[in-house]
Chain A
């Protein structure tokens, strides 16, 4: 059998997973930072949104 795995030999393919991991880590870091630093009252207000709607029955 002389078939090779043609798709393995794309030059510089390693950069793709690297970029993706980097983007994720940076974004995740930013969100985490925001969430930790964020205003507690603000979050409390938000989390009460489903409960505070006026009950008609």
Chain B
């Protein structure tokens, strides 16, 4: 058969590798600054742009979509071409993909620090960027499928299945979760409200972990681990089961982020069952990865890239054991809202994603530059510093999580809560310090790697033209007499994509359909009213400042929580919350019942200097809220958007909204004046106070009525 000559596109791989390193350093550095602010709030320098509530989304987005995202593309562009014996489909698409993705990252960073956010975790980016992401993602898929169609190898190796599932599922998740109504160019409201929004968001959030941080990296594992170790994967059979079981089960597990919340019980149980089952394919994958090295452990000793990979796969095993455990309701009751979860995700992010990326880079860069790694010694140092960093990060956070939770739940023999919330905050400080040391070590390791790789690149010459040859695929495939239905999928990328889509869509649909039917089933709670225009503006400030990164708005039905915060949260309370703001972490106390707890002046002083009202607080100061004027003109558009979403404001209310808003603002300003605080009613702080004072009030009114 005639051999066809072709060249691999190494340039795009190289560019993605550079971007991975650059954004990795940025993402980790931002994480470190955010971590330091947790015990040194003054590190925000009293600037809105550098305050925790904005840095934390910047950190998560940078690490997930910039560092890991570019890492995925680097690995996919390298392995796909070689597994398919074909150059990437189109150089132009590769270029658009690369620069488009970097543009998204830059826009994301700029808008997040400006406070432009949808307020939904890991999906914070506003609608214009959402559209851009969709377009660039389509370009990626187009390029990938174009390559697959032009391939010279009939069968699709399992790594490519993982890439295809990643492509199709991320597209689905991103589009469904990003449906929002634009209010202005940089502001939108989620189409969903309350319980529905929460379910969609955590279906997305969980599967962002599954299909952005896990499946593509499993694809990389299935390619690079055998490649670097020079031996085939332990069991190809197991990898098939791993693939189908994993994508099938993952998509259902989202509700485990919402245990004991106002989400319907059956949905919670569904999430728990599938999460527990997930341990099987996850560990199947881990075992498959580790056993690939059976009898070849000597190579691990000599190959620093393999060392990183082994720790990565082990961290994957640990995190995927812990995940199902955390999904059990009784464990979740302890762990949720605490730093335990932070430890859990960082075992995954630092260990699995971080180390996998480092391992691949140490192998790939010398290969692309036709040379040896500049310093094996330095790389080994990176390995040990990084490992130590992970341990120093995770252990204090686990400890902190347990401690926090048990203090929250502690009662005296007389039946009173034993600890003030503030006690649980101040107890965390040493752990936060230790964590930031761990994080700093991890970053130092990454800097060492960067130095090492730059030195390697300087010595080597880039392999721009890498030739290969393979016979073309000709004619129709002659099927074996005993051909099997699964082979039909294995050969056909489009079939594989469709079956994957069906598999993941079933999970999504069954989870959502009942919940979307629910809207009509919820009898309106008479006392739950839409937000007033001022409260709505205040709520948007709450979202802008990322308050949800440290405060939940969800009282779970536990004695320890109802005693501390008040009546537990009901589904009907959130019907006008576009987006929901339940939060996922309690660095500060829950705010679901905050309204009326303190006078307006308390909130005013607290925003100016939290420690003046709550000594020991680690909340940052928000002096700009006291000075900045509220953008009153946006009110009309906001009310209109809310009406389009079905919030029952009276006909033509947008025309009266500003008048109502000013009246309410004057009332609050007068209240503040009584306590000796002079402020103009048009300041942002006034709107924020009105929102905070509204929280949980509706249901309190209902309670009073019932008592009478």
Contact = CB atoms under 8 A, between A and B. Distances in A.
Do chains A and B stick together as partners? yes
A3 B572 contact: yes
B636 to A, nearest CB: 33
B466 A56 contact: yes
Interface stretch (B244-252, B306-314, B405-413, B445-453): B244-252
A30 to B, nearest CB: 8
Nearest to B232: A47
A46 to B, nearest CB: 5
Given A16-B510, A49-B155, A50-B226, A38 B463 contact: no
A34 to B, nearest CB: 5
Given A1-B703, A47-B233, A56-B466, A7 B518 contact: yes
A49 B83 contact: yes
Between A36, A38, A47, A57, the greatest number of chain B beta carbons within 10 A of the residue's beta carbon is seen for A47
B230 A35 contact: no
B468 interface: yes
Given A27-B248, A27-B503, A46 B510 contact: no
B269 interface: yes
Interface stretch (B19-27, B184-192, B234-242, B601-609): B234-242
Between A8, A9, A34, A44, the greatest number of chain B beta carbons within 10 A of the residue's beta carbon is seen for A34
Interface in A20-35: 20-21, 23-24, 27-28, 31-32, 34-35
Contact of B484 (A1, A13, A38): A38
Contacts of B463: 56-57
A57 B571 contact: no
B119 to A, nearest CB: 23
B157 A50 contact: yes
Given A46-B155, A47-B236, A56-B468, A17 B269 contact: yes
Interface of A is mostly: helix
B647 interface: no
B85 interface: yes
A53 B468 CA distance: 9
A56 B367 CA distance: 10
A31 B244 contact: yes
Nearest to A49: B157
B223 A6 contact: no
B236 A46 contact: yes
A9 to B, nearest CB: 8
A50 B159 contact: yes
Interface in B243-262: 244-245, 248-249, 252
Nearest to B528: A3
Interface residues of A, number: 41
A31 B525 contact: no
Given A38-B484, A57-B367, A1 B240 contact: no
Contacts of B157: 46, 49-50
Contacts of A47: 226, 232-233, 236, 239
Contacts of B468: 53-54, 56
Contact of A51 (B232, B240, B265, B570): B232
B514 A13 contact: yes
Given A7-B518, A17-B266, A51 B226 contact: yes
Given A3-B525, A16-B266, A32 B506 contact: no
Contacts of B699: 3
A4 B143 CA distance: 52
Contacts of B370: 57
A46 B83 CA distance: 10
Contacts of A31: 240-241, 244-245, 486
19 contacts: A1-B703, A1-B706, A8-B265, A9-B521, A10-B514, A16-B514, A21-B273, A28-B248, A31-B240, A45-B155, A46-B157, A49-B153, A50-B79, A50-B223, A50-B226, A51-B231, A54-B468, A57-B370, A57-B463
Q: List the 7 shortest-distance A-B pairs measured between CB atoms, nearest first.
A: A7-B264, A47-B232, A47-B236, A43-B236, A49-B157, A35-B237, A53-B82
Given A36-B237, A46-B158, 15 more contacts: A1-B706, A3-B699, A6-B522, A6-B523, A7-B522, A8-B264, A16-B513, A20-B252, A20-B506, A34-B484, A35-B240, A38-B484, A51-B232, A54-B469, A56-B467
